[in-house]
Amino acid sequence: MASNGHEQQNYHIGYKEDTLKAFELRNATTCLGYLLPTLESLPPTFTLLDVGCGPGSITFDLARRFPKAKIIGLDLGKEVVERNNANIPTYAPGTGIEFRAGNVLEPESFLSPEERSGYFDVVHEHATLICIPNNIQVLRTMKELARQDGGIVACREGDTHSQILWPPCPESAELQERIYEMNGLDTQTGRKLLAKALEVGFRRDQITASASVLSNITAPERELYAGSMITMLADETSQYRRAASKFGYTEEQVEVLRNNMRRMIAADDGWRLCICTEVICRLGP
């Protein structure tokens, strides 16, 4: 993800390997169905900035689909960026992809002067705004980095407040809400996405809005999602575990949270569903 130094400290999910593996379930097919037709309509050499790219699964997939495009994946985590760059020969050889570490609110930290002045045909983010307090400035910066005569700002945001886990895990939902609130984050970011696009100056006729569902349904998907949660709850240094301690959770209550995730993994009828909202914002007349 990309944010300022204070926000990096509050990135409650973290970059541990099993968490990155869970994020790697995300790709262009599962997450960018709303945007792919637009990308396919662009000249093949388009430029795209992927803000908060994490392990780069979406970014790599885009590079494979559009090998002539110049695609830059941005993340605040230097280790995950180094990991991604090392994986380019394996996951996207012969493409125009690269990864950079930097703060999206400080474009000079990762872009050349030429790239800072309306350079990108597309500036994209997926589930990044929800991880950043006061994220309206991030959306403003994305708009400034897009080409002003026809550039595109594209966002897909989870509305975590809408999340459904089955079998029911009310204790887990309560802790999640408390952690988001503690970090100045908003679990209802998704439903406010269109309002934020209007706030940064896009007209309603410049915005195409849609919605879809982020899901973990199959056994491998449940294993990756719930397994990463179990790992965070077992790790005394993770923000999830430290937050539980700060809120006064006993070891027995933490074990309830872990058992919720184990039950979800084991349940043939288990799944996780989360509403996602999407906007494609076009600059210019």
Looking at the DSSP assignment, which residues form a beta bridge with residue 282? Answer: 152
Contacts of 56 (CB under 8 A, 6+ apart): 73, 80, 84, 87, 91, 99
Q: What is the pLDDT of residues 131-142, one digit of tens each?
A: 999 899 999 999
pLDDT for the residue 240: 86
d(CA 7, CA 3): 6
Residue 125 has pLDDT above 90, yes or no: yes
pLDDT score for 200:
98
Comparing 194 with 239, the larger pLDDT belongs to: 194
Measured between alpha carbons, how far is 182 from 240 in angstroms, rounded to an integer? 11
pLDDT of 19 higher than 60 = no
Around 131, how many Cα atoms within 13 Å sit in the side-chain half-sphere? 22
pLDDT digits (tens, 9 = 90+) for 172-191: 999 999 999 999 999 999 99
Model pLDDT for residues 58-71, shown as the tens digit of each residue: 999 999 999 999 99
CATH topology (fold) of 5-282: Rossmann fold (3.40.50)
Cα 117 from Cα 114, distance rounded (Å): 6
- How far apart are the C-alpha atoms of 54 and 13, rounded to whole Å? 11
Looking at residue 285, its pLDDT comes to 82
Q: How far apart are CA 2 and CA 81, in angstroms?
A: 11
